[in-house]
Amino acid sequence: MEKRNIGSLVVSPIGLGCMSMSHGYGPSDEPTSIQLLNEALDVGYDFLDTATMYGGGKNEELIAKAVKHRRSEYVLASKCALFSKDGKPTIDGRPETIRLQCEASLKRLETDVIDLYYLHRLDPNVPIEESVGALADLVKEGKIREIGLSEVSSDTLRRANSVHRIAAVQSEYSLWTRLPELKMLDVCEELGTTFVPFSPLGRQFLTGKAQEASRLTDGDIRTSNARPRFESDAFARNSELLKPLEEVARELNCSLAQLALAWIVNQPNHQGLKTLVPIPGTKHIDYMRENAGAIGVTMSPELLAHLSSLMHDDLVIGERYSEGQMKVMDSERDRH
């Protein structure tokens, strides 16, 4: 795979989101996940994304168990401030919490340094300058290399970047979730911050393989906080939007997943450079290999524009998260 930059880091243009191997999408099995992680490195993925929150640290432990012996072959990203407390998601961006969580992640990951460390969510009770100041101290101490933010607004990014260079912003972005186009992509380009789209396949919807919420297993986030677009009526109506995309995929001789990923990978900024680094997550080896094939899908400016017109927020039924989740997302401030 070609390479792209995240601050001082150099990564493949498609990374691997590791969450679903331990969290968010129902059961998975460790032997398959270990095989998947090793085969992903063999295929050419060299950017692995995890977090304190995923499986209560189990996902970080899984990565260490699977590929710590290949640590020089991948760029490692993890996240702090969002975790589960008494079974409920909790955000704590205080400097002392960030330090404790980083130390714990380093132990679970069995590594001396985390290449890219994100503030997973903005703590509304802690100024972003304080949280980033704590992350900057960890950079000085050599415990992390680069600082990232997740699901923040463009204003928060500017404030954070005034304290320390922010190498990456991670937020949801795909054909059916276009919020970053309002402000964030432009601000990232202005500041030299790499944008890292998560859920670039719309939580499997854009692959054509997803099911409505009522058919999913307990523990799947599409039955809870990410439910609105997977409710029966919304899912049926949204599925109609896939039909013209399927025609394009047939013409290009690629899968729907590869089409959706290629749309992101080939998005140019105002200078004509392709800088986005999506991190599709999966716990299936076949899907991991399929996603890597998106690199070979050629996209002209005309095709990119055509795909953008076939599916976007104004056509999609349902918000990306439940009402309660949307209210606490700092990124949603960019709507206003």
What are the catalytic residues?
54
144 phi/psi in degrees, rounded to 5: -135, 155
At residue 165, φ and ψ (nearest 5 deg) are: -55, 130
CA distance 157 to 189: 12
* Alpha carbon distance 110, 63 (integer Å): 9
Say if residues 44 and 1 touch (Cβ distance below 8 Å).
Answer: yes
Nearest alpha-carbon partner for 108 in 140, 83, 89, 134: 83
Distance CA 239, CA 261 (A): 18
**Token representation of residue 28:** 């998975």
Residue type, 253: N
Beta bridge partners of 287: none
DSSP letters, 140-201, are HTTSEEEEEEES--HHHHHHHHTTS---EEEEE-BTTB-GGGTTHHHHHHHHTPEEEEESTT
Q: What is the CA radius of gyration of the chain?
A: 19
Residue 6 and residue 196 in contact, taking contact as beta carbons nearer than 8 Å: yes
Q: How many angstroms separate the CA atoms of 123 and 120, rounded?
A: 9
